[in-house]
C-alpha cells in the first residue's frame, strides 16, 4: 500500500525541475490543493530549490531520476485524462 502523498512528493522533483508535462503538473497541483501535508512539503521544496538555484546548478541524483521515470511510465498507462 503506498500513500498517494509518497508519489506526489517524489513527482515534485520533476515538477520543480520543469521536466514534467503540463498534464502532470496539473495533476500534482490538484493533489497538493487537497492535501495539506504535501502542500507544506511542496512549499518547502520549492523554497529550497529556488535558493539552491540562485547559488549554483543542481540536479537530483541519477538514481532518483531513474526511479521517478519508471514510476511515471508505469502510471502513465492506468489513469489518463482524469
Ligand atoms: Zn498528499
pLDDT in tens, the chain (82 residues): 567 787 887 777 777 777 777 777 788 778 878 887 777 777 767 777 776 666 655 566 677 667 767 776 766 655 544 4
Nearest to 17 by CA among 50, 44, 43: 50
Is 12 within 8 Å of 45 (Cβ atoms)? yes
Q: What are the residues whose beta carbons fall under 8 Å from the beta carbon of 58, sequence distance 6 or more?
A: 49, 52
How many whole angstroms from 9 Cα to the centroid of ligand 1?
Answer: 7
How many whole angstroms from 76 Cα to the centroid of ligand 1?
Answer: 19
Q: What pLDDT is stored for residue 29 in this prediction?
A: 79
How many whole angstroms from 82 Cα to the centroid of ligand 1?
Answer: 17
Total-model pTM: 0.43
Dist CA 33 CA 60 (whole Å) = 25
The residue length of the chain stands at 82
Q: What pLDDT is stored for residue 65 in this prediction?
A: 67
Dist CA 31 CA 52 (whole Å) = 25
Amino acid at each position: 500500500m503506498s500513500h498517494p502523498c509518497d508519489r506526489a512528493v517524489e513527482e515534485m522533483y520533476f515538477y520543480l525541475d520543469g521536466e514534467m508535462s503540463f498534464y502532470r503538473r496539473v495533476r500534482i497541483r490538484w493533489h497538493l490543493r487537497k492535501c495539506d501535508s504535501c502542500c507544506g512539503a511542496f512549499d518547502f521544496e520549492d523554497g529550497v530549490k529556488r535558493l539552491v538555484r540562485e547559488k549554483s546548478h543542481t540536479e537530483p541524483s541519477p538514481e532518483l531520476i531513474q526511479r521517478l521515470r519508471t514510476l511515471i511510465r508505469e502510471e502513465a498507462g492506468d489513469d489518463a485524462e482524469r
